[in-house]
Amino acid sequence: MTGHCSNCGKIWTLETKQGVCRWCGKLANCQSQRTQALRIKSSSKARRRQAPSLDGNGYDQLDGEWRDWLEVAKRYEHRVPAPERYDIRHTIMLELHHARQRDGKPIPPLRAYRIASLTVALYWREINKPLVKVCVIDGIAKEPNNGKCSFKDKPPKCRQCPFLAVRAIQSLDSEIEDTEGNRVRLMDTVADDQAIDLDQWLDAKQWLLGCRMRLIEIATKRKDGIPLNEKDRRYFNRERQKELKRYQIALI
């Protein structure tokens, strides 16, 4: 056919009047004049500002199998949010077109409905991929343990539990607001096992300043793996009991 694509305006290079354009990959038809069809932006905000009309854009010119596939897509496109129905219609019709090419014969109606249903299911699977199910029975979100919990009225299946919730997986690069109103990365709030506790380090340093040299020698032996003799053990136990008494008196 000689003409232009009704979607992107480039030269139509298919033998049929309607089909999938080799340039833009969209369902379109051949027309004599080069016009630019209305493009729908992929941004969700743009779709909310201007919802596309599902009855225009050349759909009224389809016939044959493409018309049948359009009717199949209309039966399932309402199962997705309104801003996404234009895209899911395209996707269903293209999947039916690919199935037609693989089979080499017309698609039976029941198989066409099944392909459309599967396309919608795959759409929701992709949408829910960043979500994870967690158990919140004790107020702390954690991974479900397949019904092995202390909930006395638990259902036979874990997924039916009323304490099972769905939350999004957070990235460590995402930002949160701390108690002082500052924006920090979630990665910076994770406790580091290798980090030094400054308060504990200062207390230990002050204790070492007044510590007896004999105790430091015993601690050095313990650190190096040198066994303590009987005198060292008695001295260490005596000093430990003194320190324990001071601690108990301080708590009173």
**Tell me: the pLDDT tens digits for 131-164?**
777 887 766 677 777 657 777 777 777 767 777 7
The CA distance from 112 to 54, in Å, is 20
The closest of 162, 136, 129, 161 to 146, measured between CA atoms, is 161
Crossing angle of the two packed helices 109-127 and 85-103, in degrees rounded to 10: 130
Residue 49 predicted with pLDDT over 50? no
For the chain, give the mean pLDDT.
76
Q: What mean pLDDT do residues 157-185 have?
A: 73
The CA distance from 112 to 95, in Å, is 9
The pLDDT of residue 195 is 56
Question: Per-residue confidence at 94, pLDDT binned at 50, 70, 90?
Answer: very high
How many C-beta atoms lie closer than 10 Å to residue 29's C-beta?
21
The pLDDT of residue 72 is 92
Looking at the chain, the whole-number percentage of residues with pLDDT higher than 90 is 18
